[in-house]
Amino acid sequence: MKKQMQDKQNVVSGLKEKLDSSTVAVLADFRGMTVNGVIELKKKLRDQKAEFKVVKNTLIGRAITAKELEPLKEHLEGPTAWVLGFEDPIGPVKVLAKFISDNEKPVIKSGIFEGKVITAEEFKAISKLPSREELIARVVGGIKSPITGLVFTLKGTINKLVFALQAIKDKKGQEKQGGEQK
């Protein structure tokens, strides 16, 4: 009996640790998912430095100790799984949303995004945001664009100067040749 209690305490402390270090946590009802579906989702989430974990509701409830996360406890009914992301918070949400649109399972209940409890609808809105990598690419592209334009402008100006100097040189060469022939 003591061993079971110790095991549960270890699970709760491990879950609390993961919850504290996560950037996003999604509660989902996984009823109706096949084993292959769970394996596929876990693989896709692993690529995003995230995990899909089935945990008993009582243990999740014990792991949620912060007062601002108390509203999550009302969603701890029925089979519940956690999707925990540890780096980019948008990546795992995008993967989960894509998987749900393809398979109609699991169903998002609620979750935590950047320390705030949010609804399933808010997760759907977040899934439509560009990922961190896409945003970085856009910023780099935005920074690079004026510089590239400046380089082409300067190159065009330098080319015009070279052509003008070449024309002057050619003209003087012709004048010099014309003067020598007389």
Residues with Cβ within 8 Å of residue 160, at least 6 apart in sequence:
none
Can you give the pLDDT at residue 179? Answer: 60
d(CA 175, CA 22): 79
**Tokens of residue 63, six digits:** 């792991």
Query: For position 45, what pLDDT does the model report?
Result: 93
- Select from 134, 103, 99, 127 the least CA-distant residue to 113: 127
How far is residue 69 from each of residues 9, 23, 29, measured CA to CA in Å? 20, 14, 18
pLDDT in tens for each of the 182 residues of the chain?
A: 787 878 878 888 888 888 888 889 999 999 889 999 999 999 999 998 999 988 888 888 888 877 677 788 888 888 889 899 998 888 899 999 999 999 988 999 998 888 888 898 998 888 888 777 787 888 887 777 777 776 777 777 777 777 878 888 888 877 777 666 55
What pTM does this model have?
A: 0.67
pLDDT given for residue 3 in this prediction: 79
